[in-house]
């Protein structure tokens, strides 16, 4: 009990001493220091600060009622003539005179059959023909001698008639042998395949020593010279094409001039296009089988404007947006307009949207602008 009273008295003494110290310290400070405990600051009235308008570059949109689309149509280059050469009758291939990739002239020998049996048969027929000729000559002499007699008996006249019949028979046999030899000569000649035109051997289908049937291809010949290209073109665009027109075809990375040789009147049911036949100039660089492409412009009717690709930016919910400047007193304010892209090229897009037909499109610095921001136009 005594301890608690002593603690309370001690605490009161400490509080009293602290209050006396505080009063003495304030009495020793200057009057100005009591009025303003911190540094002296001049009080000024708040002034309204107006942020300057941001300069932007703009271009005025121009309404259009169509846009152009570049269409591409392709086809493979083909030679004027390609033929698979074959023999007219069965046999065994003896030799091939022209290798794959070799260029040949018209009439050059390409391949040959084994004609041993044909030549043996020809030799036999030649011997028979020679014998028939000798017999024919003897009979002719005998007939002439009998006819030269002045006094002819009945027996002599009958002998002459018999000689004439025999002479006619032997003459007919000789003629038949001549025909058989002529036929064999033709078969022997046709046992050598010859190029129907100047060209290049593309492919072999048989090797020497192999047997084959009549009409079985032995090799393929591709004609040298100008090439053709068959390209299916949209029927609408074909209305602007005429036979004789010259256009450029893209082959690889280069353009080559081509002339329209024919336009088919019907539509291919598979591609819904009309086939246009182009003729290319003779050029060793142009290889058959290469793809050739024609680029054509097609006009599409639609209302919209052309904007640079750089003026487009991603919008919400998969839409695209452009930034425009709308008049606001002496200046303009930024607004965002949604657009729909109808066509796009490498540098520009044809769009339609919520903007006015003659709106001022901001072309640079769209990333630093926000809707409602005050801007000035750069002249």
Residue 232: inside a domain: yes
- Within this chain, do residues 294 and 306 fall inside the same structural domain, yes or no? no
Residue 200: inside a domain: yes
The yes-or-no verdict on residue 110 having pLDDT over 90 is: yes
The yes-or-no verdict on residue 40 having pLDDT over 80 is: no
Return the CATH number at 313: 2.40.420.20
Q: How high is the pLDDT of residue 121?
A: 92
Residue 377, number of CB atoms within 10 A of its CB: 15
Assign 197 to helix, strand or coil: coil
- Separation between Cα atoms, residue 160 and residue 20, nearest integer Å: 188
- Separation between Cα atoms, residue 314 and residue 360, nearest integer Å: 19
| DSSP assigned state of 234 | -
Contact 378, 56 (CB under 8 A): yes
Percentage of the chain with pLDDT > 70?
Answer: 84
- Within this chain, do residues 166 and 267 fall inside the same structural domain, yes or no? no
| Cα within 13 Å of Cα(285), Cβ side | 8
- Within this chain, do residues 121 and 241 fall inside the same structural domain, yes or no? no
- Within this chain, do residues 254 and 318 fall inside the same structural domain, yes or no? no
The yes-or-no verdict on residue 372 having pLDDT over 50 is: yes
Residue 12: inside a domain: no
Residue 36: inside a domain: no
- Within this chain, do residues 143 and 202 fall inside the same structural domain, yes or no? no
Q: What is the mean pLDDT of residues 355-379?
A: 85
Domain boundary residue, one of 271, 298, 325: 298
Contact 296, 73 (CB under 8 A): yes
Contact 324, 369 (CB under 8 A): no
Q: Report the range out of 76-80, 143-147, 153-157 with the highest average pLDDT.
A: 76-80
Contact 351, 307 (CB under 8 A): yes
- Within this chain, do residues 294 and 324 fall inside the same structural domain, yes or no? no
Residue 291: inside a domain: yes
> pLDDT tens digit string along 279-323?
998 888 888 889 999 999 999 999 999 999 989 988 877 789 999
Q: How high is the pLDDT of residue 150?
A: 58
Residue 17: inside a domain: no
- What is the b/e burial string over 97-122, where b = at least 16 CB atoms within 10 angstroms of the residue's CB? bbeeeeebeeeeebbbbbbeebeebb
- Within this chain, do residues 339 and 240 fall inside the same structural domain, yes or no? no
Instruction: Return the bridge partners of 196, or none.
Output: none
Instruction: Return the bridge partners of 294, or none.
Output: 73
The yes-or-no verdict on residue 367 having pLDDT over 90 is: no
Residue 274: inside a domain: yes
> pLDDT tens digit string along 7-21?
344 444 444 444 444
Q: Who contacts 269 (Cβ-Cβ below 8 Å, separation ≥6)? A: none
**How many structural domains are present in the chain?**
4
Cα 147–chain centre separation: 87
Q: How high is the pLDDT of residue 27?
A: 44
| DSSP assigned state of 101 | T
- Separation between Cα atoms, residue 207 and residue 136, nearest integer Å: 47
Domain boundary residue, one of 279, 298, 317: 298
Which of 15-29, 95-109, 121-135, 141-155 is least confident? Answer: 15-29
Q: How high is the pLDDT of residue 183?
A: 92
- Separation between Cα atoms, residue 210 and residue 353, nearest integer Å: 74
- Within this chain, do residues 316 and 329 fall inside the same structural domain, yes or no? yes
Assign 87 to helix, strand or coil: coil
Whole-structure pTM value: 0.58
Domain boundary residue, one of 298, 330, 360: 298
- Within this chain, do residues 62 and 171 fall inside the same structural domain, yes or no? no
287 is in which domain, residue-wise? 73-80+221-298
Contact 233, 296 (CB under 8 A): yes
> pLDDT tens digit string along 174-221?
899 999 999 999 999 989 999 999 999 989 998 898 888 888 999 999
Among the listed residues 226, 221, 208, the one whose alpha carbon sits nearest the alpha carbon of residue 108? 221
- Within this chain, do residues 90 and 60 fall inside the same structural domain, yes or no? no
- Within this chain, do residues 89 and 209 fall inside the same structural domain, yes or no? yes
Residue owning tokens 């002339």: 259
Q: How high is the pLDDT of residue 365?
A: 79
Residue 346: inside a domain: yes
Element (H, E) at 155: helix 154-189
Contact 217, 86 (CB under 8 A): yes
Assign 313 to helix, strand or coil: strand
Round the average pLDDT of the chain to a whole number and report it.
82
- Within this chain, do residues 143 and 162 fall inside the same structural domain, yes or no? yes
Element (H, E) at 140: helix 116-147
> pLDDT tens digit string along 322-352?
999 999 887 899 999 999 999 998 889 999 9
The yes-or-no verdict on residue 378 having pLDDT over 50 is: yes
The yes-or-no verdict on residue 374 having pLDDT over 80 is: yes
Element (H, E) at 362: strand 360-362
Assign 305 to helix, strand or coil: strand
Q: How high is the pLDDT of residue 2?
A: 39
């Amino acid at each position: 009990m005594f301890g608690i009273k002593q603690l309370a008295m001690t605490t009161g003494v400490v509080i009293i001493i602290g209050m006396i110290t505080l009063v003495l310290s304030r009495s020793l400070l200057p009057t100005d220091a009591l009025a303003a405990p911190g540094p002296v600051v001049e009080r000024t009235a708040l002034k309204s600060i107006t942020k300057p308008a941001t300069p932007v570059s703009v271009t005025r949109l121009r309404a259009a009622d169509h846009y152009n689309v570049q269409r591409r149509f392709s086809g493979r280059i083909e030679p004027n003539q390609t033929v698979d050469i074959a023999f007219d009758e069965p046999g065994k291939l003896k030799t091939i005179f022209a290798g794959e990739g070799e260029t040949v002239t018209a009439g050059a020998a390409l391949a040959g059959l084994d004609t041993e049996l044909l030549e043996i048969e020809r030799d036999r027929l030649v011997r028979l023909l020679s014998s028939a000729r000798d017999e024919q000559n003897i009979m002719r002499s005998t007939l002439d001698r009998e006819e030269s007699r002045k006094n002819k008996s009945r027996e002599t006249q009958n002998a002459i008639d018999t000689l004439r019949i025999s002479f006619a028979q032997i003459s007919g046999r000789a003629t038949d042998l001549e025909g058989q030899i002529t036929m064999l000569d033709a078969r022997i000649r046709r046992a050598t395949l010859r190029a129907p035109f100047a060209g290049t051997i593309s492919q072999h289908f048989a090797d020497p020593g192999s047997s084959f049937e009549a009409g079985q291809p032995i090799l393929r010949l591709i004609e040298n010279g100008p090439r053709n290209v068959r390209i299916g073109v949209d029927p609408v665009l074909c209305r602007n094409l005429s036979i004789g027109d010259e256009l450029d075809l893209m082959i690889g990375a280069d353009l080559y001039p081509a002339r329209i040789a024919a336009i088919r009147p019907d539509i291919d049911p598979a591609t819904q296009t009309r086939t246009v036949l182009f003729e290319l100039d003779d050029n060793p660089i142009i290889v058959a089988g290469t793809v050739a492409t024609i680029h054509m412009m097609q006009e599409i009717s639609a209302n919209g404007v052309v904007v640079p690709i750089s003026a487009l930016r991603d919008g919400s919910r998969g839409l695209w947006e452009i930034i425009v400047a709308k008049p606001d007193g002496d200046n303009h304010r930024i607004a965002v307009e949604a657009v729909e892209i109808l066509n796009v090229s490498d540098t520009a897009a044809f769009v339609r949207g919520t903007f006015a037909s003659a709106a001022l499109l901001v072309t640079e610095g769209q990333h630093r602008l926000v809707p409602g921001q005050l801007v000035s136009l750069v002249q």
